[in-house]
Structure 1
């Protein structure tokens, strides 16, 4: 954690006002070196493309929407979010589709356009493209329809032919560990060749071979991919004179004597300065899968990564003309007419979830809890406004107001995963309860939140009941806080933003389906009928 105040002053003097400097994690040491992770947030299965001196990264987004995040960098160390390539994938779903959707995308630049391919194991292989990665992307095209497809990468050859490599999801099709290559049409929109298995991980001692990335260098076809599993695996490089093999292979990056578990899949980048680098992820459990950067040495004819095949924690920065230090945005004052790019929903966005306003806050409406019997459980609620965990240790503070229009509606600040906890308010007959909610295994749909009432608060405004309708009740200016350290969460609250009271105990962070914990807001209603309530979120701030 190197962003001391002196360093922050230097950072901001080098950056324009629109660029965001994080208080809690910056990989740039300010002396020509960087410390991994270069993105200390859950960008699983990263892939990168270089276009001149610009680098663009995308990553798995699974069910979270908008999906296919697009990040930009000038030096492979300092990254910012510039957009998303996918706006819809579950238009008819009314509850969260955990662990479904976008698996391990690849991003490529071909004939003046950017392409992203990904596998959806329940539907098939998709592609989107654009000329402007920070702008709008075209609607997805289904390239191959079917079950089990994951981890897809195209390769356009010098003769204009296009090939695609992919892995397989055992949970959908009954096998994995093998890689398949087939030919696509020259425009990359449909398969024109039959699938061919080019590598068998189990047969070579490389179990769970997956996440392949396809390249061509010096007349060789290269596939870079991980094997051995997320936490204990390694990186393979394999080469052949034909896209269909046979491929010879070597291990080119593994944990060795370091403390870095994995390291897992990523993408190779050749820069305009003649350097070679590899961005991969490291699994950090409840914190998610964060992005690391390693140098690549081709002098042996193979892409040996890191320090002779072991990962670096600290190294010199890639050559670049850029001096800017910038980080993915975390804090939000909600002063814009567009929602900040760091926020995602648990499902396709619907306007009934919530909306930006011109009044300096975001309005999040209550959502009827999905049909789970008598369970009060957030697991399948799609309208939670969430973002990725930004660092190993930080504090998140928010100021909000709650307008309840129905009995028992409840809202708050949540650390969301399969084991989640939250601090918030629930309407009662006379006012509000300040509550801590904890659910140690939310995936078990019969498991209801454990609720601890910490305080009772009177409404600051109360309406008159109408026939058949409860009275509208408001409470203004409630401040909520979570502090995260060592995979644990602590909560606090305040009425004036100055005097803080601890709320509840200490709660473990959990993981979701292929993702880490996320932080943000929920607003739900256990009733089947009645008017929506809402919270107006004034601001959300990440600090030390």
Structure 2
């Protein structure tokens, strides 16, 4: 599947020593970043999508490439079915004792740990550190005296608590917590949620950064104390303050080799998901002040344009999107819609093509199909095209191009009696159809301003022939809209057939 244009639709690096926000115009929700030497590694929530916990690499916090995923599949067997909004919530990534550590929650099961010596290599199988429903957003901390701690929040939807941050002593190897610990921060329960804590130490101060106020409307808090056990004093350091950046919070404070500091955070942009911004940080009276134009209380405003950490380099670099399917592996940008199996796809059966095998979908309902192969929207406007070929002797087989969200939309293809039947399907309803005889089809998606989508064909007579009406993309449960491909069958007794993409 390839972008119709060769240039990437959103490039943050301006090529003149500055960058524009967002630095990732894609749904990397709840980002966390760690620096090792002069390299930065980012991970984010992945919810029900697999492989999960994407790993991105940068040398300047502006130009990012996907280098791995830390999680192949979710541990609980129920994720073999699509579980919107469940799965991996806000993770933390750290480097300690010569290896990388990612602590992450699945809010219905508990808090997990996976580790690796090389972030682009193999990660360990997830280890359950602390079981419990409603435990979310864990972050580890190893103190100067060798003691280790784990701080986390609570999901109000599961635990009935959403206003407390809990600190627990932890075995230094991360294998388990060592007691109940204590709630170190508690806000008025009538206020919006306090979540996503990250624990740091600087100049003898312990800092807990945590977002409050809700995903779309919130702000960033910093709490500090001379003792890790508290008491902590509170300061709001970043808020929208009349800018276009709503809810600027939930992310990572990270330093540079030269001692500068930056803050990576998300902005909820509805159907585009939680896109990632980069803010400068300066320290004043041992408080981190984030963004620009701090008011009298020290609350910063998000920047839209700023100087880069590094002025040069082999830039720009952007997350992968195009895939020619000429490799023997899927590009890192792809994720399935649930736990996946290795035999769902093949590169060896037809060179230069990705072959998808069908998964049963009752009444052709792809919303519940875990074998949707998807990637994030990469910008506010972009185009996608893919060539598809289906064998003509499988009438129950459906395949095509999908825009996934709360309302699923697909350009659905069947190959019957030597002809392709194409239908624009939105939430299971056909809103336009076309029949034509052809050996293969080039399916095309155009996404315009506001996420308005048009699906159609590229044909010899015209570069784009739209099928059915335009429609708005919609976000999924806690995630942005995605685009991708699929292959399903409506015959539970016939799993044969395939669809080839190029």
TM-score (norm 2): 0.94
Partner of residue 163, structure 2: 177
Partner of residue 187, structure 1: 173
1:422 maps to 2:410: yes
SS at match of 1:403: coil
1:279 Cα offset (Å):
0.1
2:64 to 64, 67, 79: 79
Partner of residue 344, structure 1: 335
Q: Contact 2:398/2:488 (CA < 8 Å) preserved in 1?
A: yes
Q: Within 5 Å, which residues of 2 pair with 1:482-521?
A: 482-485=445-448, 486-496=450-460, 499-521=463-485
Q: Contact 1:477/1:495 (CA < 8 Å) preserved in 2?
A: no
1:356 Cα offset (Å):
2.4
Partner of residue 441, structure 2: 478
Residues 361-412 of structure 1, C-alpha deviations (whole Å, 9 max, x = no match):
1001121015xxxx54222100011000000000001112112543232111
1:311 Cα offset (Å):
0.4
Q: Contact 1:22/1:330 (CA < 8 Å) preserved in 2?
A: no
Structure 2 residue runs without a partner (length 5+): 295-299
Q: Contact 1:369/1:525 (CA < 8 Å) preserved in 2?
A: yes
Q: Contact 1:479/1:496 (CA < 8 Å) preserved in 2?
A: no
Q: Contact 1:411/1:521 (CA < 8 Å) preserved in 2?
A: yes
SS at match of 1:379: helix
2:74 to 89, 94, 97: 89
TM-score (norm 1): 0.87
Q: Contact 1:406/1:531 (CA < 8 Å) preserved in 2?
A: no
Partner of residue 64, structure 1: 49
In the aligned structure 2, how far is the partner of 1:149 from the partner of 1:22?
Answer: 42
SS at match of 2:271: helix
SS at match of 2:276: strand
SS at match of 1:352: helix
Q: Within 5 Å, which residues of 2 pair with 1:85-164?
A: 85-90=70-75, 92-93=77-78, 94-164=80-150
Structure 1 residue runs without a partner (length 5+): 6-20, 440-448, 461-475, 539-544
**Superposed CA RMSD:** 1.8
In the aligned structure 2, how far is the partner of 1:520 from the partner of 1:90?
Answer: 25
Partner of residue 498, structure 2: 534
Q: Within 5 Å, which residues of 2 pair with 1:129-528?
A: 129-202=115-188, 206-307=191-292, 308=294, 309-319=300-310, 322-357=313-348, 359-370=351-362, 375-428=363-416, 431-439=419-427, 449-458=428-437, 476-485=439-448, 486-496=450-460, 499-528=463-492
Residues 102-136 of structure 1, C-alpha deviations (whole Å, 9 max, x = no match):
11000000011100001111111100111100111
Partner of residue 43, structure 1: 28
Q: Contact 2:391/2:415 (CA < 8 Å) preserved in 1?
A: no
1:352 Cα offset (Å):
3.4
Q: Contact 1:225/1:237 (CA < 8 Å) preserved in 2?
A: yes
In the aligned structure 2, how far is the partner of 1:171 from the partner of 1:315?
Answer: 38
